[in-house]
Structure formats: structure tokens, C-alpha cells
A and B are shown apart, each in its own frame.
Chain A
């Protein structure tokens, strides 16, 4: 998992509640990413940030929000507007300008 931590490993949420997933890296990477993975599917990009205080929407940003106040941290908030939030969420980071992304262990979110 190479210096990227995600917490918690499992998260349960009631419908209508917002929840924030943590992602921290100590690799001194500039870029960070959030992906969503559904069973039997590939990874879909939610948001990414190439530098502190800047981020861009990925392919499925609706119902999610992020912040990048510190280089080492990129928290993801799953809002009540996300219609189908149950999924495995993966955070990754990379050296800005390169393409190799390194992933954290993931957070499995279940909406009850």
C-alpha cells in the first residue's frame, strides 16, 4: 500500500447522511485521486487533484465533494445526493507529471 492510508476500512451510513472518507499519503506526491469500484467493474474516477488547493471533476463527480488543503490529505465526502453510494472507494497518488499511480487499501462504504 506504499505510504497511502485510507480510513476507515469499513463504513456504514444511513440514507440521507453525508460521510467523509479519509486519504493520507506520506510519499510527497503532488497528485491525488479518488476512484469508485463496483463489483466486477473497473475503476471510475470521481475527483483528482494535481496540486494543493486545486482539484478537477472526474467522470462520476455528481454527489461527491473533495478538498485539498494539504499536500498529504485528500478527503472525499459522499453526500446524500449520491443516489447509489454503496461501493469500494480507492484513493491513489502520483508524482505530478508522471503517470504511475499508487493506491491505498480502500474503504468499503455500505448504505443501510
Chain B
């Protein structure tokens, strides 16, 4: 089946630094990508998404970069804060007859140190 994976299962950063969370996807037909943040014991929260016709999309303190050539996705968080500590998931979707389905990676645990 399809797989969406993450290069690093854990990431620790100092408060105020920038964070970069990486994600590799396997299906070149995927045309929609999304990042979620999940705090302990809670449901995933939408952060930002991007379609395959874009390379970059910015939100508030977050930027998603998409490199279709190497099938790589990254989430950049500027000026990381303790409240950013959570597990971050990427997911891919938008494939033909499975429209609406998302395929999730295992997640990266981000820890922000004061």
C-alpha cells in the first residue's frame, strides 16, 4: 500500500529557534498534502495544506515546502514556542477514485526546550 513516512521520529529545539519537520511520500500521483498537529490525548489539528501545483505555502509562523521531484514535504515553524510541542503528521491524498482519503505517516514528536 501507499506509505507516507517521516525522516526523523523526534526533534528537539530551543525556544525561539526555527523547526523543520520532514516528510517523504511514495505516490507520485498524490496531489494534495496536509500537516496536522496532535497534542497528547487530543485529536489532530489542521495546520496547513498544499496542492501539487504549488511549491510553497505560508501560514502564520508556518511554511510548507513541496518538492515533487524527490517527493519530499517539509513543515517549517518559525520562532518555535513551547506550545508547539506536539506530534506532527503529514498526510497525502487526492488520488482519483480514493478522493477524500488521506494516508498518514507515523508522525514526528517535536519537543521545545525553554
Contacts and interface: CB of A to CB of B under 8 A. Distances in A.
B70 interface: no
Nearest to B43: A103
Nearest to A6: B43
A82 B94 CA distance: 30
Interface in A74-112: 90, 94, 96-106, 108
Given A97-B100, A99-B32, A99-B34, A42 B89 contact: yes
Nearest to B102: A101
B43 A31 contact: no
A55 B86 CA distance: 32
A48 interface: yes
Interface centre among A48, A100, A104 (most CB of B within 10 A): A100
Given A90-B44, A106-B41, A43 B104 contact: yes
Contacts, number: 58
A99 B91 CA distance: 10
A31 B100 CA distance: 8
Interface size class of B (residues with CB under 8 A): 20 to 34
Interface string B68-92: 0000000000000000000001010
Contact of B93 (A6, A99, A105, A106): A99
Contacts of B106: 40-42
B107 A103 contact: no
Contacts of B42: 105-106
Contacts of B93: 99
29 contacts: A1-B43, A6-B43, A40-B106, A42-B4, A42-B89, A42-B105, A42-B107, A43-B104, A45-B101, A48-B100, A48-B101, A50-B100, A58-B101, A59-B1, A97-B99, A98-B100, A99-B32, A99-B34, A99-B49, A99-B94, A99-B102, A100-B34, A100-B46, A101-B46, A102-B46, A103-B36, A103-B44, A103-B45, A108-B41
Interface of B: 1, 4, 32, 34, 36, 41-46, 49, 89, 91, 93-94, 99-102, 104-107
